[in-house]
Amino acid sequence: MGMSVGRLRCEYMDKPLGIDIRKPRLSWELSSSERGQAQASYRVQVAESLKALAGSGPYAWDSGEVASSSPIHVEYQGSALASKRRYYWRVKVKAASGGESDWSEPSYWEMGLLEKSDWKAHWIEPVQSPVRTEPKLDIRQMMNYKDLDAGGDHPELLPCPYIRREFAVSGKVARARLYATAHGLYALELNGSRVGDIEFAPEMTAYQGYLMYQTYDVTPLVCEGANCLGAILADGWWAGRVGMMGDSCHYGDKLGLLAQLEVEYEDGRIETIASDESFKFSDGALRYSDIFIGERYDSGYEKTGWSAAGFDDSSWKAVEAIGKELGPLVAQYGEGVKVVQELKAQRGLVTPKGETVIDFGQIFAGRVRIRVKGAKAGITIGLEHSEILDEECNFLMNIMGRHKDQRDAYVTKGGVESFEPRFTFHGFRYVRVTGYPGKVNPADFTGVVLASALEKTGSFECSDPRLNRLQENILWSQRSNMLSIPTDCPQRERAGWTGDIQIFAPTACFNMDVGPFLSRWLRNVAVDQLPNGEVPMVVPFLKSYSLGELGNSSAGWGDAAVIVPWVLYQKYGDKRVLEENYETMRRWVAYIEKTARENVPEGFESKDPERIERQKYLWNTGFHFGDWLTPSVSIDMATGEVDMMKSAFLTKELIPTCFYAHSTYLMARISKVLGKEAEAKNYDELNRKVRDAFYKEYVGADGKLPLHLQGAYVLALAFDMVPEDKRGALVAQLLDLIKANEGKLDTGFLSVPFLMDVLCDSGHIDVARELLFQSGCPSWIYEVEKGATTMWEAWQAITPSGKVMKVSYNHYAFGCVGDWLYRKIAGFDQAAPGYAKILVDPDLDCGLEWARASYRSAYGKAAAGWKRSDGNVSVDVTVPPSARATVKLRGAKLGGVFEGGKAASGAPGVVSAVQGPEGVELEIGSGSYRFEYAAEWKARP
Ligand code: BGC
């Protein structure tokens, strides 16, 4: 039958080590050269050895033949999985059209330490002074903080501890595993070699309730005889200066290590080297390292050979073991942070001020590796990082405030040497170089791009290079802001702003496989949820973000707890993410309900019992970020100045109720998916009351809202806040506002993701196209034409007159239009969760000659693309096996659509073809198709 099974994955990942999920889910991809193929049943086998797997067991699980068309998220149902054990598995399937595949190539996953008792290691700490708790500053003091010019010496920062322990290996090694984590960041070395290729372990999580350990296969690194295990620690997110305010010690003020090396000999003996008081520590060449401030490496302090056996550590001191409590350990879930790309310096320049600057041509998150030749020892080279040059092409620090140095320093040892920081990263494009000995040659500077190593799953391309650049910019901002957690920006705050990811999640899922990355982040949302149900505005929740009496959350930010799981379910067909997060969502919505019920806005007075009752369903009190950064409210286009809080204060009364409605709507859908019918009914009922209250309280007879801004209309329409017969009036208001704004958008963070769809769904795709191709400020193309290489935080970051503002040039939020480009321009959309059914419906009249999108869905490779010339249209579609698609060929006549030179209706894989008023609609099975027809223009108004 020609169907084969491949790309076996466990918990979204290829051969993961150290899984601590007791019922991991298995997925595979099917491929076939024939069309219309689907899986009818599968059989999974799992065994502890390849031999058992290929022979006749024993099997930890043999599913037997299970009737199912779905090759995704099949939950392991076998015998209990054991700590540290590797499980091999394979799959075969039967096709709906008959016939059976061969067994797949085997794959495996390996379990981590499932029981606390598996840990023989103790937390150890070098004897150290506590990291300084930075004084609390208010925002003005923080912004005006003056230490930046001090030359970056930071005497208050402590050297990174180096830790070592020698051990003997007596026999042939079959396998060796190293399990490790830290309070702070850690990097391991074994016998002088680096362990693994991940960076910033154990990553940023809500450490008080979720601390990951990592598992390394170190079999090739251990040897018979004397060995040495070494570790370097740094402040990281645990103790370092993190977040907007530059505060330190969010989780602790002392660094510690937990490490366990297990060496399994060929004869079955097991040797365990576990962190304890036999480990010794000293300081070394890393004089300090801070994620935000930067790193200082002084070669003069190098301890050559410190992580190899035989090093003289007689002057090193013993570490202390600190108690028995292991803490909230979990196995690393999802890909680690890695070097994902290297960039060549594009040019070196001497600025009008006479400074030497290296330009990488691209804004990104990462750091610089330098090469130095023939320098004397003891010279300090400084590297400062920024995203932009000013109007005169001088180096400009675009990020202000305490601990925003982004400065690395390297002290030379002489000869040929190279330096790359270890425990810090920066958001930048330009590097100001000071103290470099001799002539600066750009070839000696390499941009090292750092990010969570997420697989790129999508691409969008079209005939307009400006939109292609926009797509690139979105991708770069995603890469830069998905380093361990989803962040707002990779320089100023690097915080897990809940609103930003809520806005960007659908686009993120197209571009990269963010399934495990965001599932992990959601587990941290659950950890950080407050006792009253509030979901903090940033997760992990750094207390310096709390607004005190004003609260810790905001409409449209906290709602990420509901929206993000829903997006993941839609995109990956992952039901478990809904189950796992249901309680968090429920408590968040209960918090909204209570807040709405118990409070009325300041100045509210009424004797009307209906109005008083209605107030209970309006979430219109407290602080909210509102439709953040609404251009006409927050931005002075002439000067470029931004008053961020202005749009918050202006829009904070109306917007929250829209999100109250949205979250209750989603809760009803989610409850249904999980079979919670009674809850679904209650949420539907609540949703109806909220919408009704909004309509009666706020909507005028002419469809006017008290907040007469594009964003308010967009959200009211997107979330169905008005009855069907009133929609037209609101749409008219929205269209008027866009027209009055010369065809430009004026939407803030929360409304921009819905703007284009609201226009399309109300029959105004022409206005959406106008916004897309608009090049005035604010618009997407405006940024591209101003030379953007990432998405900007504010549209006018470079004003029309060329003024360069000190804001973030790397915020993905406004890149949420990427999702719409995939769906509406290339026409690649979904009609069922997980893309079990694809919807292809491109906008052939958008003015482009062609557009195409590819997407590696949970089922496998899918794509949609189109091309038109002189009224001739071709539409390409690829559907993976077991999935189906509806294809809308607008402007087509049934007899006039061809596939492979023949009438499309009879083509293999085409299940049905129907003529509708707007064109032909096809139902197709898996396979690759090219449909061709002469369109009757215009296909769509
Ligand atoms: C961040 C945003 C965030 C916002 C809250 C900013 O400082 O950079 O992206 O969502 O605060 O409104």
- Give the tens place of pLDDT for each residue, 735-768: 999 999 999 999 999 999 999 999 999 999 999 9
**8 Å CB contact between 620 and 653:** yes
Q: Answer yes or no: is 402 within a domain.
A: yes
Catalytic residues: 493, 793
In this structure, the number of other CB atoms found within 10 A of the CB of residue 64 comes to 10
Claim to verify: residue 172 and residue 101 sit in the same structural domain: no
How long, in residues, is the chain?
Answer: 941
Q: Answer yes or no: is 710 within a domain.
A: yes
Q: Which atom of ligand 1 is nearest to the CA of 644?
A: 12
Claim to verify: residue 134 and residue 172 sit in the same structural domain: yes
Claim to verify: residue 271 and residue 417 sit in the same structural domain: no
Contacts of 600 (CB under 8 A, 6+ apart): 615, 620, 621
For atom 3 of ligand 1, the residue with the nearest CA is 497
Q: Answer yes or no: is 940 within a domain.
A: no
265 strand-pairing partners: 173
Among 305, 334, 363, the domain-final residue is 334
**8 Å CB contact between 407 and 431:** no
Q: Answer yes or no: is 941 within a domain.
A: no
419 strand-pairing partners: 370
- CATH code for the domain in which residue 377 is found: 2.60.120.260
Characterize the bridge pairing of strands 415-419 and 320-321. Answer: unpaired
Claim to verify: residue 521 and residue 469 sit in the same structural domain: yes
Q: Answer yes or no: is 939 within a domain.
A: no
In the block, tokens 């290590």 appear at: 257
pLDDT value for 151 = 53
Please indicate whether residue 627, judged by its CB atom, sits closer than 6 Å to ligand 1: no
Which letter does DSSP use for residue 719 in this model?
A: T
- CATH code for the domain in which residue 919 is found: 2.60.420.10
Please indicate whether residue 628, judged by its CB atom, sits closer than 6 Å to ligand 1: yes
High-pLDDT (> 90) share of the chain, %: 92
pLDDT value for 937 = 59
Claim to verify: residue 441 and residue 532 sit in the same structural domain: no
Q: Which atom of ligand 1 is nearest to the CA of 648?
A: 12
Choosing from 544, 554, 628, 652 the residue with most ligand 1 atoms within 8 A of its CB, the one to mutate for a pocket test is: 628
Choosing from 142, 493, 547, 552 the residue with most ligand 1 atoms within 8 A of its CB, the one to mutate for a pocket test is: 493
Please state the rounded mean pLDDT for residues 429-455.
97
Claim to verify: residue 623 and residue 708 sit in the same structural domain: yes
Claim to verify: residue 516 and residue 496 sit in the same structural domain: yes
Claim to verify: residue 683 and residue 757 sit in the same structural domain: yes
Who has greater pLDDT, 870 or 84? 84
Cα of 175 vs centre of ligand 1, distance in Å, is 47
For atom 6 of ligand 1, the residue with the nearest CA is 488
- Count of alpha carbons within 13 Å of 289, Cβ hemisphere only? 30
Please tell me the total count of domains within the chain: 5
CA 398/CA 395 separation, integer angstroms: 9
User: Which amino acid type is present at position 139?
Assistant: I
Q: Is the pLDDT of residue 145 over 60?
A: yes
Please indicate whether residue 721, judged by its CB atom, sits closer than 6 Å to ligand 1: no
In this structure, the number of other CB atoms found within 10 A of the CB of residue 399 comes to 23
Give the three-class secondary structure for 171.
Answer: coil
Cα of 821 vs centre of ligand 1, distance in Å, is 24
Among 312, 334, 356, the domain-final residue is 334
**8 Å CB contact between 93 and 29:** no
Cα of 488 vs centre of ligand 1, distance in Å, is 7
Q: Answer yes or no: is 797 within a domain.
A: yes
Cα of 750 vs centre of ligand 1, distance in Å, is 12
pLDDT value for 152 = 59
Among 417, 452, 487, the domain-final residue is 452
Cα of 625 vs centre of ligand 1, distance in Å, is 8
Give the model's confidence band at 606: pLDDT under 50 very low, under 70 low, under 90 confident, else very high: very high
Q: Is the pLDDT of residue 820 over 50?
A: yes
For atom 5 of ligand 1, the residue with the nearest CA is 625
For atom 2 of ligand 1, the residue with the nearest CA is 488
CA 570/CA 3 separation, integer angstroms: 26
Please state the rounded mean pLDDT for residues 315-343.
96
234 strand-pairing partners: 185
Render 126-142 in DSSP notation, one character per residue.
-S-PPPP-PPP--HHHH
Cα of 245 vs centre of ligand 1, distance in Å, is 13
**8 Å CB contact between 59 and 118:** no
User: Which amino acid type is present at position 93?
Assistant: V
Please state the rounded mean pLDDT for residues 914-919.
93
Q: Is the pLDDT of residue 584 over 70?
A: yes
Please state the rounded mean pLDDT for residues 892-900.
95
Give the three-class secondary structure for 26.
Answer: strand
Claim to verify: residue 854 and residue 919 sit in the same structural domain: yes
Please indicate whether residue 500, judged by its CB atom, sits closer than 6 Å to ligand 1: yes
Q: Answer yes or no: is 837 within a domain.
A: yes
The alpha-helical segments, DSSP class H, found in 514-607 are: 515-528, 560-572, 576-598
Choosing from 492, 498, 625 the residue with most ligand 1 atoms within 8 A of its CB, the one to mutate for a pocket test is: 625
CA 565/CA 454 separation, integer angstroms: 18
Q: Answer yes or no: is 731 within a domain.
A: yes
For atom 9 of ligand 1, the residue with the nearest CA is 488
CA 589/CA 696 separation, integer angstroms: 22
Claim to verify: residue 490 and residue 589 sit in the same structural domain: yes
Claim to verify: residue 165 and residue 306 sit in the same structural domain: yes
Q: Is the dihedral of CA 187, 188, 191, 197 positive or negative?
A: negative
Parent domain of 400: 339-452
Claim to verify: residue 749 and residue 671 sit in the same structural domain: yes
